[in-house]
Amino acid sequence: MHDRIQELISDFLYHGTTPEQETELFDLCSKYPASAELLRRHLLLSLKLRKLREGTEIKPELRNETLRRINLLQAQREQSDTSSTTIVPSSPRRLGFAHLFGAVAATAVIAVFITLAFRGYHAPTPSTAAVAPIIDTFVVVLKDTVTQLQPVYIVRTERTREVPESPVSITDDAGPEGIAAQARSTTEAIGQGQGRDDEVHTESMAIAQLPLQERTRHFLEQYNAMLTSVESVQLTSNDRISD
Amino acid sequence: MTEHERRTRFDDLYAQYDRRVFAYCLHVTSDRDLANDVYQEVFVKVYLMMHTVRDTEKTVHWLFRIARNECLNALKVRQRNEKRTMTLDEGRDASYTSDPAEQSDEAAHVRWGLNQLSDEHREALLLAECEGFTIKEIAEITGTSASNVKVRIHRAKQKLQMLLHPILNENA
């Protein structure tokens, strides 16, 4: 009963009742005072809500500002319409083909760039290949919290190019004493490496045998880890890497 | 559609509905400054999208759908900003937020009551009562079913009647 009244009132207020339903509603209201009271409260609330519209005048400045923006937009659009008809006379169909060719050409250029980049990355150039040093062994170096793997180059009779990353770099003007000193430091470095934990060493050797790309990725990961770990460390001149 | 046609259609719509759109924005946002901004954005958008209206009979629904979306977006942005700055109620009309006991004006009391409703309930009630849309039209504007709209209006009114109990009884 209550639900039926609610439904009828709702339909009556929002233009959804048929004449028969209206009659039913008024009959119920005349029979039951509670229904009449419910209808009265709904009507009163509707009246109060509709009254809210009265306090919603728009300020003339707001109206002017809105119309000013619309005028500006209209002027811009008219201007762009005029310019577009003079500059772009081509039909949509022709424009579509142009887009297609443009996309194909762009894809081809990107593919060529990627191929060149890959070949350039993997294959050494003839000049660098000729002077590339041969790595004899690796030394495990523990720096901060990071384990680094450094290659060791042993001096051979042929002329080799200086490798800055190497802990033992041989230069032409080093002389016999310099070479001896560097050899000593190499031996010490090897000694240090052998003194490390065997597990770490085995793991590092495994890394050394990985393909170049994998190895590079590994070094990068270690380098990034090192960057994170040294954030709180105050570096001094002793930390500077020198020849 | 030429620019001239677009402007003519826009001017007709603007002359007919600008006040209703503003009232709607004001009631939904409960903030005059925000309603001013939303009102402008609504009509700029309406002007730009005028060419998309095919069914002229439904232009009003389309207009209020834009207004609704703009209001909801503006409310979302405001909520985000409020979370950041914690300056609640600064720009809002006092009648929407302050205690009803402090409000002598009856309309202010009703506005306060409306502000206590959820966004969905308030929106459905306002579209029905203040804007005079039918249940079916509201369903179209809000993108929900007619039965859902009925439920929302019913619950909104129930809560509002409870909140406005004193003033509804005064008039008995």
Residues B74-102 pLDDT 10s: 988 888 887 666 544 444 555 555 555 55
Q: Is B42 on the interface with A (CB under 8 A)?
A: no
Give the separation between CA B61 and CA B65, rounded to whole angstroms: 6
Of A44, A58, A73, the CB nearest to B19: A58
Q: Are A6 and B154 in contact (CB under 8 A)?
A: yes
Q: Is B106 on the interface with A (CB under 8 A)?
A: yes
The answer on pLDDT for B144 being more than 60 is yes
Residue B39 pLDDT class (50, 70, 90 cuts) = very high
Helices (H) and strands (E) in chain B, counts: 9, 0
Of A10, A70, A77, the CB nearest to B154: A10
Is the backbone of residue B137 left (phi > 0), alpha (psi -120 to 50) or beta? alpha
Please give, rounded to a whole number of angstroms, the shortest distance from the CA of B96 to a CA of chain A: 12
Give the separation between CA A161 and CA A132, rounded to whole angstroms: 7
Give the separation between CA A181 and CA A18, rounded to whole angstroms: 109
Query: Which residues in chain B have Cβ-Cβ distances shorter than 8 Å to A61?
Result: none
Window from A37-46, A138-147, B32-41, B155-164 with minimum mean pLDDT: A138-147
Q: What's the sign of the alpha-carbon dihedral A25, A28, A29, A33?
A: negative
Q: Is B154 in contact with A81 (Cβ distance < 8 A)?
A: no
* Structure confidence by residue, pLDDT tens digits, A96-135: 455 556 677 778 888 887 877 766 555 555 554 445 556 6
Interface pTM, i.e. ipTM: 0.77
pTM higher than 0.90, yes or no? no
| Residue B56, pLDDT score | 75
Comparing CA positions, the residue from B153, B131, B170 lying closest to residue A41 is: B170
Give the separation between CA B41 and CA B77, rounded to whole angstroms: 14
What are the residues whose beta carbons fall under 8 Å from the beta carbon of A98, sequence distance 6 or more?
Answer: A90
Place of tokens 């207004």: B67
Query: Which residues in chain A have Cβ-Cβ distances shorter than 8 Å to B113?
Result: none
| Residue B58, pLDDT score | 83
Give the separation between CA B147 and CA B141, rounded to whole angstroms: 14
Between A and B, how many CB-CB pairs are < 8 A?
A: 89
Q: Is B129 in contact with A46 (Cβ distance < 8 A)?
A: yes
Q: Is B21 on the interface with A (CB under 8 A)?
A: no
CA angle B113, B117, B122 (to 5 degrees): 100
Query: Which residues in chain A have Cβ-Cβ distances shorter than 8 Å to B111?
Result: 52
Of B23, B39, B40, the CB nearest to A53: B23
